Structure 1
Amino acid sequence: MDWHPHATVAVIVEMEGKFLLVEERSSGEIVFNQPAGHIEEGETFIEAACRETLEESAWHVRPKYLTGFYVYKSGNNNITYHRACFYAEAIKHEPERELDEGIIRAVWMTRDEIVAHTDKLRSPMVLKCIDDYLAGKQYPLDLIHEYSN
């Protein structure tokens, strides 16, 4: 049996006490997640974080630091996700930009509002990443070393 981890990124953006989330369709349900997704071939972690945030929320962002690495095996599809989560500052919004397929809308929520929707989070990583950010977990971006031939 072949097993392949799924390398993903997620991005925390906070503005005025609210966090940027996306409301999306996943496995037939409507759920909330950070802007997040798979790293594409030839893409760096930072490039993936910026691209996914733009495609899913229409926000341009600038990653400032890493909040952590997370591993989650989904009960819906048995896929193991390896997530690098970044904190990024919001730079510019393109409200007319079309969002990725499956994304309903971008939404700003407080931590309390997110907790009130725990049953609608795509995975436990959503709240864990926010809590790690709020706990002050910050790792410099130069912790990441990416090489290619």
Structure 2
Amino acid sequence: MTDQTSDEKPGISAAIITQDDRVLMVRRRIGEGELLWQFPAGGIEAGETAEEAAARETHEETGLKVEPVRLLGERVHPKTGRRMSYTACAILSGEAHVADDDELDAVAWVSHPDIPTYVPYGLFEPVQQYLDEVLTASA
């Protein structure tokens, strides 16, 4: 588990959520440069692990209740310069929808072959490897 320390800028935690042969992606109402479609994500709050933040942000943004399964990796995002954590999550309950319409304008369940259409600059390698394993195994 990754703890947020008080002397550093809060990182961003992203949830990688799969169902059947698709991964959940969200489109931000306000784009971050080239980042149109992303995984549900948001800032890690004080006293919260990256995994806990991924689950909380997913519920706030999409209405899905998820549980963290495992941290896939961390990096400084090459497009935003922010510290990012990526956590694989399992769905507990709910249907994905735009629950926070101040932040999001769309949600989509994206098939493995369509990921490059949504994220043309490519995914963080550990996330891509995880999706390659999980989505092609269920196809």
TM class by smaller structure: 0.7 to 0.9
Q: Deviations over 1:28-78 (max 9, x none)?
A: 87811000111122322232111111111111101111111121143xxxx
**Which residue is equivalent to 2:127?**
130
Aligned length: 125
Structure 2 residue aligned with 1:35:
40
Residue pair 2:97, 2:107 contacting (<8 A) in 1 also:
no
> 1:10: which partner in 2?
14
Amino acid at match of 1:93: G
Name the aligned partner's letter for residue 48 of structure 1: A
Structure 1 residue ranges without an equivalent (≥5)? 137-149
SS at match of 2:115: helix
Q: Deviation at 1:5?
A: 4.9
Normalising by structure 2, report the TM-score: 0.74
Q: Shift of residue 115 of structure 1?
A: 1.0
Check whether the contact 1:99–1:105 (CA below 8 A) recurs between aligned residues: no
1:82-138: per-residue Cα shift (whole Å, max 9, x none)?
11111010111156773252201221001211212334xxx744x6453131356xx
Aligned to 2:45, what secondary structure does the other structure show?
coil
When the two structures are superposed, what TM-score results if normalisation uses the length of structure 1? 0.69
1:20 aligns with 2:17: no
Instruction: Say if 2:74 and 2:85, in contact at 8 Å, map to a contact too.
Output: yes
Residue identity matched to 1:32:
W
The answer on whether the counterparts of 2:28 and 2:106 sit within 8 Å (CA) in structure 1 is yes
Q: Percentage identity across aligned positions?
A: 27
CA root-mean-square deviation: 2.7
Aligned equivalent of 1:146: none
